[in-house]
Amino acid sequence: MLPNIDYSEMPRALQHLMLREQSDAEVATFSRRQFLKLAGSVGLTLGAFPHLASAQTNAADPASSSLKPTQQPLAFVHIAASGEVTVTINRLDFGQGVLTALPMILAEELDADWGLVRSQHGSNDPAYVDPMFGIHLTGGSNSVKNSFVQYRELGARARAMLLGAAAARWKVDVSALHTQAGMVLGPDGRKASYGELAEAAMAQPVPDTVVLKDAKDFRIIGHPTTRLDARVKSSGQQVFGIDVQLPGQLTAVVAHPPVFGARLASVDDSAALAIKGVKAVLRIPVDRGGEGVAVVAEGYWPAKQGRDVLKLAWSTAAVEKVDSERMLTQYRELAARPGPRRFDADMAPLASAPHRLEAEFVFPYLAHAPMEPLNCTVRLADGLAELWVGTQCPGLDGAAAARVLGLKPEQVKMHVQMTGGGFGRRFVSTSDYVLEACEIAKAARAVGLNVPVRLLWSREDDIKGGYYRPMHLHRAHIGFDAQGNVLAWDHVIVGQSITAGSVFEQFQVKNGIDGTATEGMRDPYPLPMRLTVHHPKLNVPVLWWRSVGSTHTAYVMETLLDDIARATQQDPVAYRMRLFGDRHPRHRAALQLAVDKSGYGKKNLPSGQAWGVAVHESFDSVVAYVVEASVQQGSPVLHRVTAGVHCNLVVNPRTVEAQVQGAALMGLSMCLPGAAITLKDGVVEQSNFGDFMVPRITDMPLFEVHVVPSAEPPTGMGEPGLPPLAPAFANAIARLTGKSLRQLPFDTRLSGS
């Protein structure tokens, strides 16, 4: 079911979309030397590759251009003689649909024939950095948000060059020409396809400034569009990183230490080397100062067989052995101590408040568990390395690979691959699995195996291999009056910092507090809050997990607000609306849309079912859920979800729908019994989907997505659909049972009221 947007009204609203200021600034150009350097590293041009040299002979010196590599269409647009347009994206597509959304944006301004548009991933070339952050990055739900204007301007610049080429061919003023669906149309019925003009267009100067379309003329943006990769994925033809096959390629698997950072005491590889197809057994450094053993073979199966018969002794005396039960005791002790504060409101009213609420929440470690386990293929040559990998940060990973291989960053070529999920796991500041692959390739070459090597992690490697959503403990003491007005809210968060010790620490950690741990606390509600934060250091690698801090802060905020509403006998929707006041119109609009479309308060639910409500903003988008749930044989069951979404202008409604549903399903995974990573004496206890629960298709409720029409520039949608699902579900269960759920996953011993 498509998101319910009234498109008949959209064109008028879109007219208010902010357009770039126009000027008659001097046109600048892109030099032949600069063009050839970029084209040589990227392999893309606006025209045909054999004609590169002659195509740019009339271009001026690059010093006259104010355009950055991210603004040059030559790195992003390839038009074949057939008219087929290939758009290169500056992101990783791992299911979120940017291989379609970004080309839609560019094709809109290019005025391309959408039926001839294709797309491909970029590389670690400087042209493909995030234009806002200046680094190669897919994360923070920023792909469409940060590249919306960029890709519009890229399309408009390419279109201007095509118009210039046609004007020169026909010896007419460019103002006499216009474009339509991949054609340049001129006076007297003359016309030329983009494919015919591409070679000549390549010689045209790249304009500094361009006039963007009036939004009322959009014919691609805002319309439901089937994804460009839908056919190959649904037919099993899509090639992912795990499928890379190069001539002579070998496959490696690694025996990792059972405790993070442990080292080897002894290795007996005689049985492994006796297995047919095994080429080498290599002792290599692995993440967090540990050691591992790589088995390199002629395929995954002999490599795995070789690993299975290794006789390894591990030295774990020098590393901390984390235990989940002991951690919880330590966290509770920390929560009682003073610490750095994010908010520091006066807590004096707490003692005299007419009503008080005390609560403790516990959230476990969570694995990312993408469908495609981690992998990376490395090919080494003298002074050059090529990597085929699905990475969210090809620049960071490429630079890390260069350090390990003794190369310069420009000597490492990153081939970004289509990826089967990631949820944050493929953006690691330590580049752990990428470096592991490079260490193996380097060691293999040293023993005479001068061939490409593909590192494959198994599902068990992936789930036991570290970098989890951190375990958190929240503790709240709240004072409020009979009307539900919060007088004082004293709150403590205990959990590891994701960014401490990483390249992002200087941006994220302030006053000893990691901002990713507190995002989603307090706002948008006008609450007098004192927020204390403790970040213990533990031998468990942690990382962002889809929607990051909001995975736990949204749950805490939205369930506690429901508790206050119930305690003061207020409708939870009306209570939230009162708290929003006039300050948060997007929150109000998203929640009201979900309420209206769900029938909340108007239709009667079946016996044993209850409504649940939650709304949360993350990554500049607001998602509200109204859910219908029950308890059946002691287990919580989610029957229906109605979403109200405010993400400003929608580029592709089908992508928004898919992202909201997918994120909600991942949010549901936090609720299901068995959805936790635990450690015993330093060892992760879970290893596969038999003991780490993920939702099945039978767990998916009926789902409707409704989007608030907006003309403002797009905001992120990859993650915002996740945070409010669990609290909305919990709030419904609490209304049925009278019991507030303070721990994820939910307790299996539930009963109806």
Nearest to 345 by CA among 491, 541, 513, 168: 491
What DSSP letter does each residue of 265-303 carry, written as one string?
EEEE-HHHHTSTTEEEEEEEE-GGG-EEEEEEESSHHHH
pLDDT at residue 26 greater than cutoff 80: no
Q: Which pLDDT belongs to residue 751?
A: 57
SS3 54: helix
Q: Which pLDDT belongs to residue 65?
A: 64
Q: Which pLDDT belongs to residue 60?
A: 36
Task: Read off the pLDDT of each residue in 626-631 and give the average, rounded to a whole number.
Answer: 97
Q: Which residue type does 719 have?
A: E
Summarised one tens digit per residue, pLDDT across range 470-486 is 999 999 999 999 999 99
Nearest to 686 by CA among 316, 432, 366: 366
Q: Which pLDDT belongs to residue 503?
A: 83
Confirm if 642 and 628 have CB atoms less than 8 A apart. no
Summarised one tens digit per residue, pLDDT across range 287-328 is 999 999 999 999 999 999 999 999 999 999 999 999 999 999
Residue 220, burial from CB neighbour count under 10 angstroms (0-12, 13-18, 19+): buried
Among the listed ranges 144-148, 404-408, 499-503, 537-541, which one has the minimum average pLDDT value? 499-503
Q: Which pLDDT belongs to residue 556?
A: 98
Taking the C-alpha atoms of residue 440 and residue 501, their distance in angstroms, rounded to an integer, is 25
DSSP state of 91: S
Taking the C-alpha atoms of residue 746 and residue 390, their distance in angstroms, rounded to an integer, is 33
pLDDT at residue 110 greater than cutoff 60: yes
Confirm if 109 and 213 have CB atoms less than 8 A apart. yes
Domains and CATH numbers, the chain: 17-234 (3.30.365.10), 243-318+374-456 (3.30.365.10), 338-365+468-737 (3.30.365.10)
Q: Across all residues in the chain, what is the average pLDDT?
A: 91
Owner of token pair 């059972």: 258
Q: Band the pLDDT of 63: cuts 50, 70, 90.
A: very low
Contacts of 323 (CB under 8 A, 6+ apart): 679, 680, 681, 682
pLDDT at residue 337 greater than cutoff 90: yes
Q: Which residue type does 539 have?
A: N
Contacts of 180 (CB under 8 A, 6+ apart): 111
Contacts of 520 (CB under 8 A, 6+ apart): 549, 550, 553, 554, 557, 616, 617, 618, 723
Q: Which residues pair with 293 in a beta bridge?
A: 255, 283
pLDDT at residue 19 greater than cutoff 80: no
Q: Which pLDDT belongs to residue 31?
A: 36
Taking the C-alpha atoms of residue 742 and residue 671, their distance in angstroms, rounded to an integer, is 11
Instruction: Report the 10 Å Cβ neighbour count for 238.
Output: 14
Q: Which pLDDT belongs to residue 566?
A: 97
Taking the C-alpha atoms of residue 348 and residue 366, their distance in angstroms, rounded to an integer, is 37
pLDDT at residue 74 greater than cutoff 80: yes
Residue 718, burial from CB neighbour count under 10 angstroms (0-12, 13-18, 19+): buried
Residue percentage of the chain with pLDDT more than 90:
87
Summarised one tens digit per residue, pLDDT across range 587-604 is 999 999 999 999 999 999
Q: Band the pLDDT of 748: cuts 50, 70, 90.
A: low
Which residues of 535-608 form beta strands (DSSP E)?
none
Summarised one tens digit per residue, pLDDT across range 159-205 is 999 999 999 999 999 999 999 999 999 998 999 999 999 999 988 99
Q: Which residue type does 602 have?
A: K
Q: Which residue type does 440 have?
A: I
Q: Band the pLDDT of 66: cuts 50, 70, 90.
A: confident
Query: For helices 143-170 and 194-201, what crossing angle results, to 10°?
Result: 90
Q: Band the pLDDT of 40: cuts 50, 70, 90.
A: very low
